[in-house]
Amino acid sequence: MNAPHPPKVAGIDSTLPTPAHTVAPAPPVPGTGPAPDTASVPAPGAPAPGALLQDRLAGWVSDLTTLHELTERLSRTNALDPALHELLRAAAALVGARRGLVVLEPADGLGPRTTLGLGLGRADLGHIETVPRGALPYDTGSGTAEVVHSDLFAEDGLDPRHREVAARLGYAASYALPLATESAGRLGAAVWLFDEPAEPDERQRHLAGLYTRHATEHLARLLEVERTRACIATITEELLPSRLPRVAGVQLAARHRAGARGGGDWYDALPLPDAALGLSVGSVTGSGPSAVAAMGRLRASLRAYAVMEGEDPVAVLSDLELLLRLTEPARSATALFAYCEPALRKITLAGAGHSPPLLIGERRTEFAETSVSAPLGMLACWEAPSVEIEAEAGETVLFYTDGLLHRGGDPMDRAFARLHAGAASVPRAVRHDPGAVADHVLRAVLPDGPNDAGNEEDVVLLAARFD
């Protein structure tokens, strides 16, 4: 009967070297030979053959279980930085190191390029980067082999600067592995530092190599996602206003936080005849490049309608709704357009399925009363009455998209309550600055900060403070 073969776990080859803790067979005693009838009987004190096999299998299972747990934990990371930190931490445990660093330098030159440390501060990483490139304890060039320095201070031919940095940072040995596979290409390298002269044994190297190869494939996928996000974010920023206009009697500020997949939220501010100002915020359904493109088309069209019919916000949104139904029949959108007369501090606005603006002042913090209507593209013909708002001197009117409410994951009533509380808590000392007001609201409303990784909701704020 054949011995059972350990299964593959999480795509990792189960053919591993003999575990380091496996008991070695007892050597034969010189001058004695096995008796014919006792060949299968172990010598006194020697482990039985079955025990040796069980110990070896136990070692394999233990290693495969460890690798499975580590790769599962790595697979749960959804951004480059946490994945690189997890790689450093897990592989450090496999090789028995306390500190290390990972250098991300994709061979295609498209970036991003970064260096992260484990147990090393920014200053420490800066010292290591002063070592000449060819003498670094890792190789991010064309090499594909591990780099081992078992005793830096006893090694002949070591670059003096490398020895000086090692002494300054207190490490005496290093072990580096390339982050490279045939399918992912070369992404960089990872190095672990030992406080005393040492090097991983054969089994530790094997396990670290298996884990690092799996990590490289995962990093390659995250790298592609990161590049796609950066590309969409760049396109989105190019489609939004590069700067806000200067109009007498009002100060403007805007904040935009792109979601993980790139959404279709927009804001705009457009000077109009008679010293008026058109303000708009909106959101197109969906995400990704197609939503961003649709957002750009709608925003550009809304600017044209605002110039022609800006004094009548209902007519502006009606024209936009007709355009949406004709050119984007599979989409809907929410929008809010406001015709502002800064000299009178008067705002006439209409909304289509959009959340009401927030008035923030010394004596009040309240949502504006707006009519309830469906989003654009949801009905055969959209129309809703407009409303007028009169702001007091020094008040800020805050327009926003629904991403500000959805990112927290709360029910809508709680989300509105959180937004109201955040606006009411704006310090008196910064209420003269609409940008500071918007920043405070972002910090108060978003639970993990304005740039929480992995969130798919876009967030737009447009603040207008009236003198």
Average the pLDDT over 312-335 and give the result.
90
Tokens of 6: 């350990």
pLDDT, position 26: 42
CB 207, CB 72: distance < 8 Å: no
In a domain, 29, yes or no: no
Tokens of 118: 């484990």
Residue that terminates a domain, selected from 176, 204, 230: 230
> Taking Cα atoms as reference points, which of 345, 334, 403, 398 lies closest to residue 367?
398
Average the pLDDT over 58-68 and give the result.
84
CA gap 26, 47 in Å, rounded: 8
CA gap 186, 113 in Å, rounded: 13
In a domain, 9, yes or no: no
* Helix segments in 76-147, DSSP class H: 80-95, 122-128
pLDDT, position 169: 94
In a domain, 275, yes or no: yes
DSSP 8-state assignment for residue 6: P
Q: Where residue 451 falls among pLDDT bands split at 50, 70, 90?
A: very low
Query: Residues 414, 446: one domain?
Result: yes
Give all strands (DSSP E) within 226-355, no chain letters.
250-257, 263-272, 276-287, 333-341, 346-352
Query: Residues 170, 289: one domain?
Result: no
Query: Residues 301, 218: one domain?
Result: no
At 215, which helix (H) or strand (E)? Answer: helix 202-239
Q: Where residue 211 falls among pLDDT bands split at 50, 70, 90?
A: very high
pLDDT at 376 over 50: yes
In a domain, 63, yes or no: yes
pLDDT, position 24: 42
- Tell me if the bond preceding 112 is cis, omega within 30° of 0: yes
Q: What CATH number does the domain containing 393 carry?
A: 3.60.40.10
Query: Residues 224, 246: one domain?
Result: no
Tokens of 288: 């990704």
Give the domain range for residue 160.
52-230
Q: Where residue 216 falls among pLDDT bands split at 50, 70, 90?
A: very high
Q: Which residue has the higher pLDDT, 340 or 46?
A: 340
Q: Where residue 48 falls among pLDDT bands split at 50, 70, 90?
A: low
In a domain, 41, yes or no: no
pLDDT at 346 over 70: yes
Tokens of 220: 């390659």
pLDDT at 449 over 80: no
∠66-72-77 over CA atoms, to 5°? 135
Give all strands (DSSP E) within 406-445, no chain letters.
none
Query: Residues 356, 415: one domain?
Result: yes
CA gap 366, 364 in Å, rounded: 6
Average the pLDDT over 207-234 and give the result.
90
In a domain, 28, yes or no: no
How do residues 108-132 score in pLDDT, each as one tens digit?
888 889 999 999 999 999 999 999 9
Which residue type is seen at 414? Answer: R
Q: Where residue 231 falls among pLDDT bands split at 50, 70, 90?
A: confident
CA gap 41, 173 in Å, rounded: 46
pLDDT at 325 over 60: yes
pLDDT at 408 over 80: no
pLDDT at 89 over 90: yes
Q: Which residue has the higher pLDDT, 408 or 404?
A: 404
Residue that terminates a domain, selected from 188, 211, 230: 230
Q: Give the 3-state secondary structure of residue 451.
A: coil
pLDDT, position 175: 94
CB 407, CB 452: distance < 8 Å: yes
Query: For the chain, what is the domain count?
Result: 2
pLDDT at 144 over 90: no
Total H helices, total E strands in the chain: 10, 15
pLDDT, position 43: 58
For the chain, the average pLDDT equals 84
Q: How many residues does the chain have?
A: 467
Query: Residues 224, 344: one domain?
Result: no
Tokens of 290: 């197609």
pLDDT, position 447: 65
∠290-293-295 over CA atoms, to 5°? 110
Q: Give the 3-state secondary structure of residue 22.
A: coil
Tokens of 111: 């970036």
pLDDT, position 117: 94
pLDDT at 3 over 60: no
In a domain, 23, yes or no: no
Q: Where residue 60 falls among pLDDT bands split at 50, 70, 90?
A: confident
Residue that terminates a domain, selected from 230, 259, 278: 230
∠276-281-287 over CA atoms, to 5°? 155
Contacts of residue 164, Cβ cutoff 8 Å, sequence gap at least 6 = none
Q: Which residue has the higher pLDDT, 385 or 320?
A: 320
Average the pLDDT over 423-437 and give the result.
92
Query: Residues 370, 392: one domain?
Result: yes
Stretch among 50-54, 198-202, 343-347, 372-376 having the lowest mean pLDDT: 50-54
Q: Which residue has the higher pLDDT, 330 or 273?
A: 273
CA gap 5, 314 in Å, rounded: 73
> Taking Cα atoms as reference points, which of 341, 339, 369 lies closest to residue 355?
369
pLDDT at 21 over 70: no
